[in-house]
A and B are shown apart, each in its own frame.
Chain A
Amino acid sequence: MSPASKSPETRWQRFIRSFLYGLDVDRNVKAKARLGLAIVAFAAIYGVIALRLVMFAQQSNGHGLRRSVGQDAVATARPDILDRNGLILATDIKAPSLFAEPRKLIDVDEAEELLTAVLPDLDAKETRERLSSKRGFVWLKREITPKQQSEIHRLGIPGVGFLTENKRVYPNGPVVSHEIGHVNIDNQGIAGIEKWLDGQGLAALHMAGLATDRLQKPVELALDLRVQFALRDELFAAREQFKAKAASGVVLNVNTGEIVAMVSEPDYDPNNPREANDPTRINRLTTGVYEMGSTFKALTVAMALDSGKAMLASMFDASHPLHYGRFAIHDYEPMHRALSVPEIFTYSSNIGAARMALAVGVPAHHAFLKKMGQLDRLRTELPESAEPIVPKRWGELNTVTIAFGHGLSVAPLQAVMGVAATVNGGLLIPPTFLKRSESEAKALAKQVLKPETSREMRYLMRLNAEKGTATKANVGGYYIGGKTGTAEKVINGRYSKHKLLTDFMAVLPADKPKYLMMIMLDEPQPTPETHGFATAGWNAAPTAAKVISRIAPLLDLEPRFDLPNADQLILAKATTSQ
């Protein structure tokens, strides 16, 4: 193209050209082809680069976020735990933690002195040890206050820094301690629902370091915080009044198996987990096993009625104590005559209950209690559970005593589940701490009793509140039914007359049960107001009455007055529908 290329070639040049390209090749054509090739190649390269750019632009939106993860959360986030109305039971807040990098530290003594001045509860010796170690990273104090943080920041010690951590807080303190449990300093659940949560895959997330997201879905429990508080408040008062060692209570929805409230007093503050190690503060309802006493008669009577071996009008001889080898079964208030089934239930006759169980037979009794879930460990979401203490060899004497609630120790929650089945139409529903609808419960439930038996049981429960041992629990307007139970505790292998365990099961309302409540007092003492009695009718039943009058409005139970008595409302309906 330049004028120089037009000038004739020298010999030498022609030689080079023929050597490089061959003799008869037009160089201009060749050059054009090459240029085309180069254009295509470069276009392809730029095309690829452009494409990659687009791909990068689409993928890498996490740039800004990734930067923040490094300084975030060592103790990983946990989901909030809410009650059934959305009130907070457990939540996370951010708290700074103090750490040091000993290798970067210039003056250990000065650092230690300054730090202990701001944090008086810091152990000076231990801090010095940690600071003079050769490690790259040591914790000095976890979870300090923002004020302390700014003070330490102002000291300007090199090699000391802060990390923000998630701290678990329980705003309600001890009110829900036994259900939700608590966590350790690394935010791992070590008891209750918190531990159950870890078992649900949260622990694996922690390991992978992915559980830093605050937006985890909150866990909703079946618990009603207000009911729980009212129950705890009354149990607290009852424990004071009767000077009992412990007081516990459960409110169970009989149609869904949801545990609406559960208190075992004394409890502990999950914000201060050290208290949980005290053995007197265990959850007596799931981790303790007790002989439940006369409340077990509800199961015995239900069994006898369901088997057809007894009807409501059947008579059982209770005129004499029942002798068995060297044992004699007495009644608390002997009637010295034959008793009908309602009489056995309302007078709480041991002899009558024993005779009813014997009429059904030993193997059938064992099979029935097995069916009612009283002989196997009851498992709920709570990791803590206790195995019932079942006699190794189950003879006639065992059947006789178990008929009125001695000789078989079960977890109280288990007994509640069994009694709930006798009043809710005969469905055995495993209790749960999580929300559950009625249809879900139906799918899980097992029909263990005829609905007719259940109706008769409701009649007996109501009758007992009208004119039996449970009259002191009869709060006007709520149509309560109930069964008392008083068990003598075994001290050194003998039944003690003065160390009692009293419990009370209340059905509300008895004609169409929605809730079953149990109150249990451990070693209540007689008081002047109880005229020297310490049986369940004098302490557990009145406590139940106080609780019911407080919680029934919270549970949406409508007070109904001028309802007919049990004979008309429950039993008459039963006979007409037959």
Chain B
Amino acid sequence: MRLLNVFVIGALILAAAVVYKIKFDSTLQAERVAKLAGELRRERDAIAALRAEWAKLDTSGRIQGLAERHLALKPMLPTQFDSLDHLPERPPAVATGNDPIGAMLAPAPETTGSVPALVNR
């Protein structure tokens, strides 16, 4: 019985110490959480403000004004678009090596390229 009492008292002190430690740690953590949450809120507000500012600086009206003032660019015309299949094929590679004339005489690799079309354009 006496042994039990001693053991219980020991356990009690140990438990108290552990609980105190946990409590202390958790207060510390809670404070950190609150601080981080506050920081997050501030950062998020700052992001919102910067996003709004960016959106304001990025408005088409402002960009158009700047482009007209500082650039020599003109609005794009429909004729300036073309599709990829109108792209001419890559011209045959210029022969290199120690016998360029011989390479020229050799039968040219078969090409279906549209280099003449490029000249026409």
* A residues whose Cβ falls under 8 Å from a Cβ of B: 63-65, 67-68, 72, 87-88, 91-94, 164, 169, 171-173, 175, 214, 225-226, 229-230, 233, 475-478, 549-550, 552-553, 558-559, 561
Contact = CB atoms under 8 A, between A and B. Distances in A.
Contact of B78 (A92, A171, A230, A478): A478
A68 B38 contact: yes
Interface string B70-90: 000001111101010000000
A87 B79 CA distance: 29
A263 to B, nearest CB: 13
Nearest 9 pairs of A and B residues by beta carbon: A477-B78, A64-B34, A171-B55, A229-B60, A559-B78, A171-B56, A88-B55, A94-B45, A64-B33
A121 to B, nearest CB: 23
Contacts of A63: 30, 34
Which one of B37, B49, B58 has the greatest number of beta carbons of chain A within 10 Å?
B49
Given A65-B37, A88-B51, A558-B83, 14 more contacts: A63-B30, A68-B41, A72-B41, A88-B55, A93-B45, A94-B45, A94-B49, A171-B58, A172-B55, A172-B61, A175-B59, A229-B59, A549-B75, A550-B75
A88 B55 CA distance: 6
Given A476-B79, A553-B81, A559-B79, A67 B59 contact: no
B78 A475 contact: yes
B48 interface: yes
Interface residues of B, number: 27
B103 interface: no
B3 to A, nearest CB: 14
Contact of A175 (B44, B52, B61, B75): B61
Q: Which of B53, B75, B79, B81 has the most CB of A within 10 A?
A: B81
Contacts of B114: none
A175 B55 CA distance: 13
Contacts of B52: 88, 91, 93, 169, 171
Contacts of A230: 60
Contacts of B58: 87, 171
B21 to A, nearest CB: 15
Nearest to A553: B76
B64 A233 contact: yes
13 contacts: A64-B34, A87-B55, A91-B51, A91-B52, A92-B48, A175-B60, A175-B61, A229-B61, A476-B78, A477-B78, A477-B79, A549-B77, A553-B81
Contacts of B51: 88, 91
A88 B56 CA distance: 9
Main secondary structure of the interface of A (DSSP, over half): mixed
Nearest to B50: A93
A440 to B, nearest CB: 28
B71 to A, nearest CB: 17
A561 B78 CA distance: 9
Nearest to B57: A171
A91 B34 CA distance: 26
Contacts of B55: 87-88, 91, 171-172
Q: Which of A169, A475, A549 has the most CB of B within 10 A?
A: A169
Contacts of A553: 76, 78, 81
Contacts of B60: 175, 225-226, 229-230, 233
Nearest to A88: B55
A296 B10 CA distance: 96
B48 A94 contact: yes
B4 to A, nearest CB: 10
Nearest to B26: A57
Contacts of B77: 549
Contact of B48 (A93, A172, A173, A477): A93
A398 B51 CA distance: 55
A63 B60 CA distance: 45
Given A175-B59, A226-B60, A67 B34 contact: yes
A435 B120 CA distance: 45
B116 to A, nearest CB: 20
A87 B77 CA distance: 25
A236 to B, nearest CB: 10
Contacts of B38: 68
B48 A549 contact: no
A225 B75 CA distance: 18
B44 A214 contact: yes
A63 B30 CA distance: 8
A475 B77 CA distance: 10
Contacts of A475: 78
Interface string B24-44: 000000100110011001001
B24 to A, nearest CB: 15
Contacts of B64: 229, 233
A196 to B, nearest CB: 21
Contacts of A477: 78-79, 81
A87 B41 CA distance: 23
Contacts of B75: 549-550
Contacts of A549: 75, 77-78
Contacts of A225: 60
B15 to A, nearest CB: 10
B81 A558 contact: yes
A55 B63 CA distance: 58
B23 to A, nearest CB: 11
A372 B13 CA distance: 86
